[in-house]
Every structure is written in C-alpha cells, then in structure tokens.
Amino acid sequence: MALRDILILPDKRLRLVSEPVKKIDTDVKKLVEDMFETMYDAPGIGLAAIQVGVARRIITMDLSKKDEDKERRVFINPEIVWSSDEKDVHEEGCLSIPEYYEDVERPAQVRVKYLDLHGREHALEASGLLAICLQHEIDHTNGVLFIDHISKLKRDRITKKFSKAAKRAVEG
C-alpha cells in the first residue's frame, strides 16, 4: 500500500470523466488499497480514484465513526439508477477542496448499482450520509465537484481563491 497525492482544485484532472473499469485485476485492487490508505490519512470518508489522478470509476468509502470498527466499502463503476424527488441539505466538504464547506441540496435517497472487488453486481438503496456521500463521489467520476451545486458567485469565489493559492505555491 502507498499514500498517493490528492489532487487539489484547480487541477484540471478533477474535471475529467472517469473511464469504466473493464477488468478487476491486481492493479485495480492495489489502487483500491492505496485509496483507502490515502483516504484514512487525509482523513476523509470517501475518495474517488480521479482524486488521486486515476481516471477510473472507482470509489472507496468508510462512514464509520472513530471509535467503531472500520466499514470499508468499494464501489466499482457505480451508477445512480434512481433518485428521490425529496431533497436534503447537508454540509459537504471535499479532500480536493480542503477546509471549505458548504450546504448542498441533493436527492434524499438514491439507488445505486455497482460492482464489488470480486466483480459481483450489487444494488443499494441509500439515504442520509451514505446517499450524500455516494452522490458526491459519483459526481467526481463524472468530473463534477460539490461546488458545482452551489451558487455561481460562491463557486467563482472559491475557485479564484484556490487558483491564487496554486499560483503562489508554484511561484514559491
């Protein structure tokens, strides 16, 4: 296992649409292990492969609390096949947009189909934090960031802030 660098806004790779996984091989399994290690180290509750620079439709997630046993979840080629008309608003953050949080409105419930690490297909109905996290991470696989769900004014302000920070880091 290895820690990987997490891409930070305004990295253009965050806007890439990820490719479906055609075969779950040792490279995919190693990537998943690296993603868990990176996600736990950050620390975060969800990570999409594109956030570590790999444009594949893979998500790792663990919504367990610090004092609970880890509950590692892997979603390969996840796809939202249904979402409720009812909406919920939750404060979201993102490892690729560190230390920035904003209220985001999303469907309260979703049904997701995906493959596990053994290539078996699953369907999952989710609500609450799991539904929010799944939508957030699946957005990543489609090149969408949570700031795309907030007002243009707020989005432009945060994008400008991170662009300036990246420019300062390069000029160093």
Report the Cα 167 to chain-centroid distance in Å.
25
**Tens digit of each residue's pLDDT (9 = 90 or more) over 109-153:** 999 999 999 999 999 999 999 999 999 999 999 999 999 999 999
Domains and CATH numbers, the chain: 12-171 (3.90.45.10)
pLDDT one-digit tens code per residue, 42-69: 999 999 999 999 999 999 999 999 889 9
Catalytic residue (one of 19, 99, 105, 137): 137
137 is catalytic: yes
Starting at the earlier edge strand, list the strands of the sheet with 46-48: 46-48, 58-61, 73-83, 109-115, 121-127
